[in-house]
Structure 1
Amino acid sequence: MTSRVLLVSAAMSVSARQARFDDGGSLDDGGAARARAAAGSLPFAVRVLTSPVARCRETAVALGLDGVPARDLAGLDVGRWRGRTLDEVGAAEPDAVGRWLTDPECAPHGGESVRDLCGRVARWLADAQALEGRTLAVVEPEVVRAAVVGALGLPLSVFWRLDVPPLTVTELSGRAGRWNLRLGRPLAAPEEIG
Structure 2
Amino acid sequence: MNPSFPPAPVVERAAEPTESNIRELVYGFYDRVRADPLLGPVFEATLAGRWDDHLPKMCTFWGSLVLGAKQYRGNVQQAHQPLEGVEPQHFSRWLYLFLDTVESRYEPAAAVRFMEPALRIAQSLQLSRFGWDYKIPAEQEALLERVAPKRRPRDDEPHDGHAGVVSRRPPGEPFPTRIIGKAKDD
- Between Structure 1 and Structure 2, the one with more strand by share is 1
If asked which structure has higher relative contact order (CA below 8 Å, sep 6+), I would say 1
Specify if TM > 0.5: no
TM range (shorter): under 0.3
- Give the TM-score of the pair, scaled to structure 1: 0.26
Larger gyration radius, structure 1 or structure 2: 2
- Give the TM-score of the pair, scaled to structure 2: 0.27
